Amino acid sequence: MALYEVMLRSTYAGQECLNVWNYTSNELVVGDGPAFGLFAAFAGEPTGTPASFPASTVLARLQVMVSNSYQFNSLFVRQIYSSVNFYEGAFVDTFGLQTSGEGLSPTNAFGYRTTRTDLTIRRGTKRFSGVPELASGPLGVIAPAFLPLANALGALMANVLTYDTGLAEWDYVPTIVSKQKTIGPGGSVSYDYYPTLAEQTARSTTGFEYEFYRTIRTQTSRQYGRGR
């Protein structure tokens, strides 16, 4: 089994926004092929003018939810515990299909959390900046028109992704990992993958769903001047 990390780098209102997902796969092909397969299933190659992601991908579902001020920058896929299985693609196109009009502050976000499948592992969460004003109803309740879009994104984030090589199909299973807390010099705290795949696998879970919050969430780490 292999454990993967998918990192999306985006920019909104001058702030860098990072979102991370994990997947596991039984494909143990040597080289960067499986990492590219996950990249293709998750984002694919944007096409058209203005550009859009392939309709079956996670980023296509996100693209139709966010403001047209939200910029997709790059996607980096890497196999944890490997130095050769990785793939990074930059998105340099001007994207379409996003919602026109004014957007909210970068601290406002669409929010998700996962269901529990293992009580020893905390829920996974997602926060996406770039919320259009049209998506926010009275008191910050998500406008009804955006609920089908949000539910479609949540469903796809929980689904097994598949890449067809032409000879075989590679599957990538959404995974929540519990990382180890590390205290560094001066008391700095970080959360890191465990030293071995076996240790990390024992602290990982699959088979969950994503629950969408029906109100606008906040992400204080994306305040102006801070990013992330």
Q: Give tens-digit pLDDT for 9-28.
A: 999 988 999 999 999 998 76
Residues 139-164, mean pLDDT to the nearest whole number? 95
45-57 pLDDT, tens digit per residue, is 888 777 889 988 9
pLDDT of 227 above 60:
no
Query: Structural domain boundaries of the chain?
Result: 2-222
Sign of CA dihedral 12, 18, 22, 23: positive
Residue 197 belongs to what H/E stretch? Answer: helix 197-201
Kindly state the tokens that stand for 74. Answer: 């790059």
pTM score: 0.91
Amino acid making up residue 59: L
Strands (E), 153-228: 161-164, 169-177, 180-183, 189-192, 204-205, 210-212, 217-218
**How many Cα atoms sit within 13 Å of 11 on the Cβ side?**
11
Q: What is the pLDDT of residue 187?
A: 83
Sign of CA dihedral 83, 84, 85, 91: positive
∠ CA 196-23-215, nearest 5°, is 125
Amino acid making up residue 15: Q
Kindly state the tokens that stand for 138. Answer: 């009275």
Residue in the structure block whose two tokens are 């976000």: 109
217 with 111: CB under 8 angstroms? Answer: yes
Distance of CA 149 to the CA centre of its chain: 16
Cα dihedral value 169, 19, 108, 16, nearest 10: -130
User: With bands split at pLDDT 50, 70 and 90, how would you rate the model's confidence at 171?
Assistant: very high
Backbone angles phi, psi at 41, to 5 degrees: -75, -30
Residues 62-85, mean pLDDT to the nearest whole number? 93
64 with 54: CB under 8 angstroms? Answer: no
Q: Which of 135, 64, 62, 133 is nearest to 103 (CA)?
A: 133
pLDDT of 31 above 80:
no
Burial class (CB in 10 A: 0-12, 13-18, 19+), 196: exposed
